[in-house]
């Protein structure tokens, strides 16, 4: 399966009647088994782009090609759980076909077993985020979209959840798109990094990471990070010259 994004532009009409460009032309593709990471400053139009490629916003120029039968799993920035349904029901409603064994396995990995019958209002943000992750994985997605799934969690928890995401992504062939601010998350999870410019967003750099995810140790990650830092500074220097 393959996701092809070819957005030629997207503008919002503002209150004064003028238009405001949110997205510049953006073009990229994602294969099954690949994790693409979108990195960009706040408000650059990442969420708008996600809404477009999920089919929630059809008012744009360009085309999105994704197989119509592709199942989508999504982790929104806010967990977006149904407050009036229990944790287990929230997951089952999105994935009615899931077997009891699979569900138990998922809850075990995400350490949610004790919270099955709780309502989302009784959960901390970290737990609610994990439920949202469980829901996204329960549908056995072909396309997994993670919109800052680790934001505003403490480092230890974010690290554990990141490892869990890596485990789950590795367990089946899925196209994954991760939106994040954290270079660290991007390097640890991504296969290809897309750096976006401020609004209107365009891709300023596409950086593939050659080392397979499971063999990336701390040393390799530090090396990639240093390389990236050099590269972005180089970009800036080039721009200063021109």
Partner 1 sequence: MLRLLSFSLFLATWWIAALFVGGAKLPSPPAVLNVIIAEASSGALFLHLGATLARVALAFVLAMSLGSAIGYLMGRVKLADRLGDPWLILLLNLPALVVIVLAYIWAGLTEAAAIAAIAINKLPTAIVTLREGTRALDRSLDEMASVFAMPRWRAFRHVVLPQLAPYIAASARSGLSLVWKIVLVAELLGRPNGVGFEIGVAFQLFDTPRLLAYSLTFAAVVLVIETVLVQPFEARATRWRPRAA
Binding positions for partner 1, rule: CB under 8 A: 51, 54-56, 71-74, 76, 78, 80, 82-85, 89, 93-94, 96, 119, 121-122, 135, 139
Residue 120 or 200 with smaller CB distance to partner 1: 120
Residue 45 or 79 with smaller CB distance to partner 1: 79
Residue 85 or 102 with smaller CB distance to partner 1: 85
In angstroms, give the least distance from the CB of 15 to partner 1. 19
Residues 145, 180: contact at Cβ < 8 Å? Answer: no
**Alpha-carbon gap, residue 167 to 176, rounded angstroms:** 13
The pair of structure tokens assigned to 67 is 């197989």
Q: What is the 3-state secondary structure (H, E, C) of 65-129?
A: ECCCCCCEEEECCCCCCCCCCCHHHHHHHHCCCCCHHHHHHHHHHCCCHHHCCCCHHHCCHHHHH
Omega prior to 213 cis, within 30 of 0:
no
In angstroms, give the least distance from the CB of 116 to partner 1. 15
In angstroms, give the least distance from the CB of 87 to partner 1. 12
In angstroms, give the least distance from the CB of 96 to partner 1. 8
Residue 83 or 210 with smaller CB distance to partner 1: 83
């Amino acid at each position: 399966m393959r996701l092809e994004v070819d957005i030629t532009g997207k503008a919002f009409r503002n209150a004064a009647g003028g238009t405001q460009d949110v997205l510049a032309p953006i073009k990229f593709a994602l294969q099954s088994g690949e994790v693409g990471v979108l990195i960009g400053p706040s408000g650059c139009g990442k969420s708008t782009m996600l809404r477009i490629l999920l089919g929630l916003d059809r008012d744009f120029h360009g085309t999105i090609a994704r197989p119509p039968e592709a199942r989508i799993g999504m982790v929104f920035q806010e967990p977006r759980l149904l407050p009036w349904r229990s944790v287990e029901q929230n997951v089952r409603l999105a994935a009615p076909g899931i077997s009891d064994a699979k569900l138990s396995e998922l809850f075990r990995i995400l350490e949610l077993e004790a919270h099955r019958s709780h309502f989302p209002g009784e959960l901390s943000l970290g737990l609610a985020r994990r439920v949202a992750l469980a829901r996204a994985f329960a549908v056995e997605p072909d396309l997994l979209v993670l919109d800052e799934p680790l934001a505003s969690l403490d480092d230890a928890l974010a690290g554990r959840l990141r490892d869990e995401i890596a485990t789950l992504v590795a367990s089946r062939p899925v196209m994954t798109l991760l939106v994040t601010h954290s270079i660290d998350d991007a390097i640890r999870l991504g296969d290809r990094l897309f750096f976006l410019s401020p609004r209107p967003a365009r891709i300023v750099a596409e950086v593939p990471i050659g080392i397979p995810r499971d063999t990336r140790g701390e040393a390799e990650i530090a090396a990639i990070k240093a390389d990236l830092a050099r590269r972005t500074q180089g970009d800036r220097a080039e721009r200063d010259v021109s």
